[in-house]
Each structure stands twice: as structure tokens, then as C-alpha cells.
Amino acid sequence: MRSGLLHQRLLHQRLVGLFALALLLFNFPLLALWDRDATLAGVPLFPAALFIVWALLIAALAWLMERAPD
């Protein structure tokens, strides 16, 4: 019982941390780093970076939620 509670608390802390990371990555100072006149495989850098960061955050969330308890 205690192990389950510890796992839930740790999962909650990791989710809050992931949320804070997403807030930082999608906020002005860091987001302005990608606003350049460059392309990545023919796609402007800004939308490509937004999509990549968004996809990585979803992958991290899926990994956290589907992970088996320790």
C-alpha cells in the first residue's frame, strides 16, 4: 500500500515538472530562439521547432503515464 502511494506521489511530481518544462519551452524568451529565417527540410524553423517540442512533450507524457510502477 505504501509503495503505491509513493509511486503516485512521484508520478505527480514528474507530471508537474513536465508541465513546468512545457510552460518554459512555449513561453517568450525560449520561443524567440527559434524565430529565424531558416528552414529545416524545407519547413520554416519556427513551426518545425514548435512541432518537434510539442511531439517530444507528448512522448514524455506517454512514457510517464504508461510506465510500470517500480
Q: 7-36 pLDDT, tens per residue?
A: 888 899 999 999 999 999 999 988 898 888
| Predicted local distance difference test score (pLDDT) of residue 48 | 93
The separation between the first and the last C-alpha atoms of the chain, rounded to the nearest angstrom, is 13
Give the count of alpha carbons within 13 A of 10, CB side only. 11
pTM of structure: 0.83
Q: In whole angstroms, what is the distance from residue 48 CA to residue 39 CA?
A: 8
In the chain, alpha helices (H) = 2-25, 28-31, 45-66
Please give the residue range of the domain that contains residue 32.
2-66
If one compares 58 and 31, the residue with the highest pLDDT of the two is 58
Indicate the number of domains in the chain: 1
pLDDT band at 68 (very low <50, low <70, confident <90, very high): low
